[in-house]
Structure 1
Amino acid sequence: MSQQQFMQNPWSNWMNGNGPDSDIVISTRLRIARNLRQHPFPMLATDSQAEEVVKKVAEVGKSEAMSKKGPFQLIYMEQLNPLEKRVLVEKHLISPHLAEESRKGAVLLSEDESISIMINEEDHIRIQVLLPGFQLNEAWEIGTKIDDIFEKQLNYAFDEKRGYLTSCPTNVGTGIRASVMLHLPALVMTQQISRILQAINQVGLVVRGLYGEGSEALGNLFQLSNQVTLGMSESDILSNLYSVAKQIIEQERVSRRYLQENSRIALEDRIFRSYGILKFARTVESKEAAQRLSDIRLGIDLGIIQNSSPFVLNELLVMTQPGFLQQYAGQKLTPEQRDERRARLIRERLSAEK
């Protein structure tokens, strides 16, 4: 896939909706942070030192061992305009930090976009695996094999007592961040979400919005991830996240059944109102679009809306973001123009489903 295709194609592997528990878990992400010994961390590196890191990581990316994982495209951040960077962030292929703050940053992207290896982000290397549905163990298996390939060819910054050394102290140790993106509309509707979020903080986990730290939980989408990396093994981190996520999934299903049994008319009215508005609206803001797409997704998962695929809603989650709308239009758009194009795009996609 060419660099331009990564920008123009809204589809990514994590959107296909075929993973386990995909009615609630949109995607699973695993991120492994690593740094190279005898190289200044990105925040302290000169341009030439940062370029040397890119060169070394890119060489491993072209190795025979990595070729078995599929072809990878190396994309330099300095070759992208702000809009193209924003599209990659909206597709969850790079972090906002790499897009906005890194110097001499780059990313290695697999053809199906399930693997992205960020270079000179907050750390020298951040290996990311992004899969559809609830696939923590599968993501770890892929991520750790890629990590092994890099560790065999590069000298990692590692301390026998502290583990892998990272720019941020909260990542020291295993360097692992695992997360699941959960769609929790019923827990929000039944006003149980606050209680659950408070409990999560007591077990070493954290909940963030759609695009990670500091972002808003638009469309009832929440990212549940580990907060502790030091003093826990990789298996402990994954096991803790898995068990808590499973409990939340079950509570969301209980809440969905409760709404169907006790508030079915109100539930159907909300779902079909959102469907009707998006099917015919001529202008819609991103926040409203996310909320109403959440309602429609719930209606599809509960069988209230027939003959529509949840895949389309996953795709629209990206296609209706400001960056992609402007990339698709081939020009910068005013907020009003984006709202009009967003409404048109949603109308077309919903009509195509019938």
Structure 2
Amino acid sequence: MAPQPKNCRIKCVSKIMDESYNRLIQSDSKSLLKKYLSQDVYNALKEEQTPTYGSTLMDCIQSGLMNLDSGVGIYAPDPEAYTVFSPIFDAIIEDYHLGFSPNHTHPPLDWGDLTAFQNLDPENRYIISTRVRCGRSIEGYPFNPCMTEVHYKEIEQKMTDVFRGLSSELPGTYRPLTKMMRCEQERLIEDHYLFKEGDRFLKAAKACQFWPVGRGIFMNKDKTFLTWVNEEDHLRMISMEPGGDLGNVYRRMILGVTAIQEQVNFARSDRFGFLTFCPTNLGTTIRASVHIKLPKLSSDKDKMKSVAEEHHLQVRGTRGEHTESEEGIYDISNKRRLGLTEFEALKEMQDGILKLITIENSL
């Protein structure tokens, strides 16, 4: 795909971007975008464009400009954006990923020793369910803002072929959203299996173009290994089950990711590890989470937040980012994904969840 001529694209978005940027810097926004997109950085990058897909600074920051309550406010429209717009990406990445500076490189993939992980709640007192997911981008394709309808369909077809070849405990069925009844979609969303169309942050980032074309979900027969196709990233591979057996969930995710990687090349860089649409998900892209009920500790939100931060955990509502807790159930996961191995990310999450349960028991 040839990018539009540089002057043409830049001229089209320059005035709108200038006006939006001025609103951002004059606002009380707490986003990392506002924090690091100084006037000098903005001026240096506003006329740059990625060589293959012609992505502009506006493609990167449009969501943060439209949503002044963003926490981060930036996405990568294609893999090259992390290099072309490195002055802003590097600063935000260093802040979000706790000191991962331009001098750092992400370590090689290392799943580690699976015997180090355990059932975090063997008596089933607190943990409703456990899941471990990772995101992957397929080499040779841009990310959402630059993807065409053809790109979405091509990726879906590639993955449909891959899913047919899965074995062991992985075989299942791929369901495209275009052929799924609305009532079935709603039921799968309600049961925490299926994604729904992106929120206003993703829509502003142009992550929902041509919806629902090319989107779908693969589920193995037991609904314990899922793959989301063309949601926020090209692929989100998820292992999940009721209860707190983190070791078994992690093992199954590794099995699925390894099987898919044998047939699909994933986009990866020496500096950032696996490349994804959102810079918060770079590196391992691992997000290990539990749906957990901590009635005593959650009544003291400041204390729960303090313990979570100490162990680099992120506390979300029941349905994920930008949602509230339902019936006192929280989604708690590791926050760090970049600059550490897959094993270290899982271990950090395990230690943090065990600490939260220990405190709950002591109250």
Q: Deviations over 1:167-201 (max 9, x none)?
A: 0001110111110111112334xx33431223312
Q: Distance in 1 between matches of 2:198 and 2:248?
A: 26
Alpha-carbon distance, 1:81 to partner = 4.2
SS for the counterpart of 1:185 is coil
Match of 1:117 in 2: 227
Q: Distance in 1 between matches of 2:304 and 2:120?
A: 27
Q: Distance in 1 between matches of 2:335 and 2:120?
A: 28
Match of 2:243 in 1: 133
Q: Does 1:177 align with 2:287?
A: yes
CA root-mean-square deviation? 2.2
Match of 1:88 in 2: 188
Match of 2:177 in 1: 77
CA contact (8 A) 1:19 1:132 kept: no
Alpha-carbon distance, 1:159 to partner = 0.8
Q: Deviations over 1:59-107 (max 9, x none)?
A: 11111xx132243111111223444322211111122346994542011
> Which of 132, 135, 156 lines up with 1:30 in the alignment?
132
CA contact (8 A) 2:120 2:350 kept: no
Match of 1:57 in 2: 159
Match of 2:322 in 1: 214
Q: Distance in 1 between matches of 2:288 and 2:316?
A: 12
Q: Distance in 2 between matches of 1:21 and 1:177?
A: 24
Alpha-carbon distance, 1:205 to partner = 1.4
Match of 1:108 in 2: 218
Q: Deviations over 1:285-344 (max 9, x none)?
A: xxxxxxxxxxxxxxxxxxxxxxxxxxxxxxxxxxxxxxxxxxxxxxxxxxxxxxxxxxxx
Match of 2:308 in 1: 200
TM-score scaled by structure 2?
Answer: 0.61
TM-score scaled by structure 1?
Answer: 0.62
Q: Distance in 2 between matches of 1:21 and 1:42?
A: 42
Q: Distance in 2 between matches of 1:110 and 1:116?
A: 7
Match of 1:229 in 2: 337
CA contact (8 A) 2:228 2:236 kept: yes
Matches for 1:159-178 after TM superposition, within 5 Å: 159-178=269-288
Q: Distance in 1 between matches of 2:287 and 2:177?
A: 23
CA contact (8 A) 2:133 2:239 kept: yes
Q: Deviations over 1:27-78 (max 9, x none)?
A: 1111110011111223421111111101111111111xx1322431111112
Q: Does 1:245 align with 2:353?
A: yes
SS for the counterpart of 2:194 is coil
Alpha-carbon distance, 1:19 to partner = 6.9
CA contact (8 A) 1:33 1:125 kept: yes
Amino acid corresponding to residue 226 of structure 1 in structure 2: N
Amino acid corresponding to residue 46 of structure 1 in structure 2: T
SS for the counterpart of 2:327 is helix
CA contact (8 A) 1:163 1:173 kept: yes
Match of 1:290 in 2: none
CA contact (8 A) 1:21 1:134 kept: no
SS for the counterpart of 2:296 is helix
Q: Determine what percentage of the aligned residue pairs are the same residue.
A: 27
Structure 1 unaligned residues grouped into runs of 5+: 1-16, 256-354
Q: Distance in 2 between matches of 1:114 and 1:187?
A: 29
Amino acid corresponding to residue 204 of structure 1 in structure 2: H
Matches for 1:266-285 after TM superposition, within 5 Å: none
Q: Distance in 2 between matches of 1:208 and 1:21?
A: 24
Matches for 1:3-42 after TM superposition, within 5 Å: 20-42=122-144
Q: Distance in 2 between matches of 1:98 and 1:106?
A: 14
Amino acid corresponding to residue 344 of structure 2 in structure 1: D
Structure 2 unaligned residues grouped into runs of 5+: 1-118
Which has the larger helix fraction?
1
Alpha-carbon distance, 1:25 to partner = 0.7
Question: How many equivalent residue pairs?
Answer: 235
Q: Distance in 2 between matches of 1:165 and 1:39?
A: 11
Q: Distance in 1 between matches of 2:186 and 2:291?
A: 20
CA contact (8 A) 1:34 1:164 kept: yes
Q: Distance in 1 between matches of 2:309 and 2:121?
A: 27
Q: Distance in 1 between matches of 2:215 and 2:128?
A: 28
Q: Distance in 2 between matches of 1:78 and 1:209?
A: 29
